[in-house]
Amino acid sequence: MKIVMATNNQNKLKEAREIFDSLGIVIISQKEAGIAIEPEENGKTFAENALIKAHAVYDLLKCPVIADDSGLCVDALDGRPNVYSARYAPEGQQCEKLLQELENIPENQRTAQFVTVIAFLDENGKEILCEGVCQGAIGFEKKGTNGFGYDPVFLYQGKSFAELSADEKNAISHRGIALRKLYEILKERSLNHAE
């Protein structure tokens, strides 16, 4: 099965490929499919934004598409930056801004969740939504050099996401959880079609 991923984020693409390659699903980037669009993400939820991105590419190609909308929800900030995670600060300055905002927050109040919603549209445009949540905490400094975005400050069982290998992150991450849920649904569907 081939699926076009509606994203301009190369890190998301890489993580989705790492997971789906081993499951026999080929992910083609929207760029490889000849599409250069960046739809306005004006939804109020991760699901709404994931559907906006998926439909924008589906409308042009009419083939199976996935889109990922994700972000970080920090409890001490009443869930912010949430769907505004990409707009919270310019790329490369997100961790610094978050550390500064949480400067006076003690360790036991630094809990946070990474959330991903994957929207899948099949060749007929039928929608499937899968959510993945990873519970962790925000550290007091950046740690590690792997990953992207908020990974250096997101702690999971004592290590930052940026200190994990790609496989270790995929095994427990919000994105890994959501993509594996989608895979299970697609597998079930193809078994039912084969019957």
Give the shortest CB-83-to-ligand ITT separation in angstroms. 8
Question: Which is it for strands 159-160 and 154-156: parallel, antiparallel or unpaired?
Answer: antiparallel
Residues binding ligand ITT: what is the number (CB under 6 A)?
Answer: 22
Residue with Cβ nearer ligand ITT (110 or 175): 175
Among 68, 120, 153, 170, binds ligand ITT (CB under 6 A): 68
Nearest to 41, CA basis, from 56, 20, 61, 22: 56
Q: Do 153 and 97 contact (CB within 8 A), yes or no? A: no
Q: Which amino acid is at 189?
A: R
Nearest to 72, CA basis, from 181, 180, 149: 149
Catalytic (active-site) positions: 69
Residue with Cβ nearer ligand ITT (9 or 111): 9
Give the shortest CB-183-to-ligand ITT separation in angstroms. 18
- CA-atom Rg of the chain in angstroms: 17
Looking at the chain, the number of H-run helices and the number of E-run strands are: 5, 7
Residues 86-105 as x/- pattern, contact with ligand ITT by CB under 6 A: x-------x-----------
Among 55, 56, 57, 70, binds ligand ITT (CB under 6 A): 70
The gap between the terminal CA atoms of the chain, to the nearest Å, is 18
Q: Which amino acid is at 95?
A: C
Three-class secondary structure of residue 9 per DSSP: coil
Q: Is 85 in the site for ligand ITT (CB under 6 A)?
A: yes
Residues 17-36 as x/- pattern, contact with ligand ITT by CB under 6 A: --------------------
Residues contributing to the site for ligand ITT (CB under 6 A): 7-9, 12, 41, 53, 68-71, 85-86, 94, 114, 147-151, 161, 173, 175
